[in-house]
């Protein structure tokens, strides 16, 4: 059985944005420039405004979003190689900031890590293309 190695298979970039919202906005715009569609943004940090949840433990983040995105062409290409590859779709970035910190982080699971689970060279080739796009998005963000 192949395993995912957190130290090698998760990519993280650090940013010092003028604001967290600016970083998130720049990320979503850059995703769209690369011909992907943002399908959903999960607002994990909105729990702070929901006292009825009675959260009693310390939360190690100030802001936390999960950004899901997809390119239907790439998705079809992946699942045409392996139907079960759809369990890893859509692609995701996590965007977060720790309490009282100026730095923000964006992380993602490399598509090549999930492709490795299938031991399929054609699937790996598509996954490496997706991975390259994800790295390009993070490197080309301008804020």
CATH code, 83: 3.30.310.70
Domain that holds residue 111: 10-138
> pLDDT higher for 52 or 117?
117
**43 in a structural domain:** yes
Q: Are 65 and 43 in contact (CB under 8 A)?
A: yes
What is the mean pLDDT of the segment spanning 22-49? 90
**28 in a structural domain:** yes
**2 in a structural domain:** no
**143 in a structural domain:** no
How many domains are contained in the chain?
A: 1
**101 in a structural domain:** yes
CA-closest candidate to residue 66, choices 109, 99, 127: 109
What global pTM score does this model have? 0.88
**4 in a structural domain:** no
What is the mean pLDDT of the segment spanning 67-81? 92
What is the C-alpha to C-alpha distance for residues 98 and 104, in angstroms, rounded to an integer? Answer: 7
Q: Is the dihedral of CA 132, 23, 13, 10 positive or negative?
A: negative
Confidence of residue 99 (pLDDT cuts 50, 70, 90): confident
Per-residue pLDDT at 62:
85
């Amino acid at each position: 059985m192949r395993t995912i190695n957190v130290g090698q298979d998760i990519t993280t970039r650090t940013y010092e944005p003028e604001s967290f919202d600016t970083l998130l906005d720049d990320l979503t715009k850059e995703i769209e420039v690369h011909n992907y569609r943002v399908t959903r943004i999960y607002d994990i940090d909105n729990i702070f405004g929901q006292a009825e949840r009675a959260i009693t433990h310390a939360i190690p983040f100030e802001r936390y979003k999960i950004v899901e995105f997809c390119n239907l062409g790439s998705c079809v290409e992946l699942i045409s190689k392996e139907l079960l590859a759809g369990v890893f779709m859509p692609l995701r970035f996590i965007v977060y900031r720790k309490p009282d910190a100026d730095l923000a982080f964006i992380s993602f699971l490399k598509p090549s890590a999930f492709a490795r689970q299938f031991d399929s060279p054609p699937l790996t080739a598509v996954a490496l293309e997706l991975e390259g796009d994800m790295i390009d998005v993070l490197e080309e963000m301008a804020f």
